[in-house]
Amino acid sequence: MRGEQTDSSLTERMEPIQTAFDVSYAYPVVFSRGSLEPANPALRDLVAGGSGRVGGVTEPVRALAFVDDGLLAAAPRVASDLAAYAAAHADRFDLVAPPIAVMGGERSKSDPDVVRDVLRAIAEHDLCRQSVVLVVGGGAVIDAVGHAAATAHRGVEVVRVPTTVLAQNDASIGVKNAINFEGRKNFLGTFAPPRGVLNDFDLLATLGERDRRSGIAEAIKVALIRDGAFFESLVRDGASLAAFAPGAMQAMIRRCAELHLVHIATSGDPFERGSARPLDFGHWLAHHLEERSGFALRHGEAVAIGIAVDAIYSEKVGLLPASAHRILDLLATLGFPLHPPALADVDVEQALESFRAHLGGRLCITLLADIGVGVEVHEIDPALVRKSIAFLGEHAPC
């Protein structure tokens, strides 16, 4: 008994072992054209950089490529061009199989077979943590393939080649990936910074109008919460952006991507451990609208509506000086449909609670104190949100 008491007293006096460490992340976001032309080294350098050394001898990096089937339908040569590119750089880039087509669009995030198929391919081709998964396509495909890669071997590095506006300026340049689960947007996911991102403006030529327009919503979002001058440039270039003029689109994509990356690098919370997520301005309603529409709404279309409602609400609660009309005018100029049928079916309380549960802790919503100035609030008046939605229905084109 004495020995047991001694052991117990020793255990009670033991101090916990505290540990802390930092992990540094760095990755490039490269802007280019003609990235699948063998003379362009950008893709090769992203795939081959940083690994592949065995016993002091440089070996070609083993890579497995996945390509959005929507992209292949619009540009069938992408798969063969990618294989030819790898062959031209075989000393550094070993494409271990022909590029694999992956279901495109939001369905890729909602069908669990997509992630399972990617994991099977990674296993069948013996990729390891020194290998690279290369994914070419829209943000949803990059999310689904990235989620699979992040869980294989506890993390196979990914090189992303986004092919939509929204993916190039927002969805694919950050440190997250996610898939949907039982109808809930982005319920499963990981934080996994990529090895690198290659934004090839030429690949945007395959897009239809809705997908080109959709990505502009994320630029408006980040301008409104971080950079008033950028918002003014979007207003000034509104007609050119509505016509998808290449110069205006490329400038918008680059500045939007830059602002997102600055936030990730300098916010002090890149893996979103806290409850504040300013880059999700307009998203609490957007995610709900996507779900209510059965994902018929594009993500950017839903974000545009969320921005409009939150701007109106910000003005109604006295935060935003009378500027909501300028935001609505820009969204209308760009051609966003701001009052789709799904908006009439919004459950405000459910949408807010779902967003709070996704973040954890207190509800934290970003609103606007001015153009270019976001502010965090922890309480939202559902009745006033409904009035803001009604106001949008009365003052915005369908």
pLDDT for residue 235: 98
Give me the residue spans of the domains in the chain.
29-206, 209-395
pLDDT for residue 208: 92
| Residue 57: band (very low, low, confident or very high) from pLDDT cuts 50, 70, 90 | very low
Selected residue with higher pLDDT from 231 and 16: 231
Strands (E), the chain: 29-32, 53-54, 57-58, 61-68, 93-95, 100-102, 132-137, 157-162, 176-181, 184-191, 196-200, 365-370, 373-377
Do 29-206 and 209-395 share a fold?
no
Classified by CATH at the fold level, domain 209-395 comes out as Dehydroquinate synthase-like, alpha domain (1.20.1090)
Cα 45 to Cα 146: distance, rounded to the nearest angstrom: 20
Give 261-265's long-range contacts (Cβ < 8 A, gap of 24+). 261/29, 261/173, 261/174, 262/226, 263/222, 263/226, 264/174, 264/175
Q: How much of the chain, in percent, has pLDDT values that exceed 90?
A: 78
Beta-carbon-side half-sphere exposure of residue 52 (alpha carbons within 13 Å): 19
Least confident of 196-210, 304-318, 345-359, 373-387: 345-359
CATH for 29-206, among 3.40.640.10, 3.40.50.1970, 2.60.40.10, 3.30.1330.60? 3.40.50.1970
pLDDT for residue 4: 55
- Find the mean pLDDT for residues 239-243: 97
pLDDT for residue 397: 58
Q: Tell me the pTM.
A: 0.89
pLDDT for residue 267: 79
DSSP class of residue 18? P
| Residue 7: band (very low, low, confident or very high) from pLDDT cuts 50, 70, 90 | low
| Residue 271: band (very low, low, confident or very high) from pLDDT cuts 50, 70, 90 | confident
